[in-house]
């Protein structure tokens, strides 16, 4: 798609505005799950806006400087860079597993709201199950 980054940035702005507007319209309650949902929508909008804006800037630079485009294409196809990226991603996954576990235990000891603990546990399980799924899939392929 030609304008994917622009659409992502615009959608991000719309999500940010919707989340902030909804948060303002809600009655003030200390432990409202709707407030948390509005915060997550706002954060998702910020992420999408940042992603779209970064893509727009990158495309602008690539269009202006063709030598940078050629260098980026070479680096993206380089086997060493691919191996380094895969190894770094694997290490980050290993660290994330322990950090998520420690964070869950910390939330329990802080006696945090049950909804936040359940959301964190579900996210943790989703990541771990996804890791197991891809490990099985790649073992079958190789």
pLDDT of residue 138: 85
Nearest CA-CA partner of 55 in 1, 15, 16 = 1
Regions of the chain with pLDDT less than 50: none
Which value, to the nearest 10 degrees, does the dihedral of the CA atoms of residues 76, 78, 81, 86 take?
A: 80
- Contacts of 31-39 with C-beta under 8 Å, sequence gap 24+, read 31/113, 33/115, 36/115, 36/116
Please state the separation of Cα 51 from the chain's center in Å: 10
Nearest CA-CA partner of 116 in 39, 47, 48 = 39
Concatenate the DSSP letters of all residues of 33-48 into one string.
HHHHHHHHHHHHHHHH
pLDDT of residue 30: 59
Nearest CA-CA partner of 108 in 116, 46, 45, 69 = 116
The pLDDT tens digits for 58-86 are 888 888 888 888 888 888 888 888 888 88
Contact yes or no for 53/9 (Cβ under 8 A): yes
Residue given tokens 């190894």 in the structure block: 87
pLDDT of residue 14: 96
């Amino acid at each position: 798609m030609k304008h994917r980054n622009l659409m992502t940035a615009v959608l991000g702005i719309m999500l940010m505005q919707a989340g902030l507007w909804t948060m303002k319209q809600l009655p003030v309650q200390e432990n409202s799950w709707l407030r948390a949902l509005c915060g997550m929508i706002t954060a998702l909008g910020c992420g999408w806006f940042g992603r779209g804006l970064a893509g727009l800037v990158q495309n602008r630079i690539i269009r202006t400087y063709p030598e940078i485009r050629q260098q980026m294409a070479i680096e993206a196809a380089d086997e060493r860079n691919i191996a380094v990226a895969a190894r770094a991603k694997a290490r980050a996954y290993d660290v994330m597993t322990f950090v998520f576990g420690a964070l869950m235990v910390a939330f329990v000891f802080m006696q945090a709201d049950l909804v936040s603990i359940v959301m964190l546990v579900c996210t943790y399980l989703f990541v771990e199950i996804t890791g197991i799924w891809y490990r099985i899939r790649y073992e079958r392929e190789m």
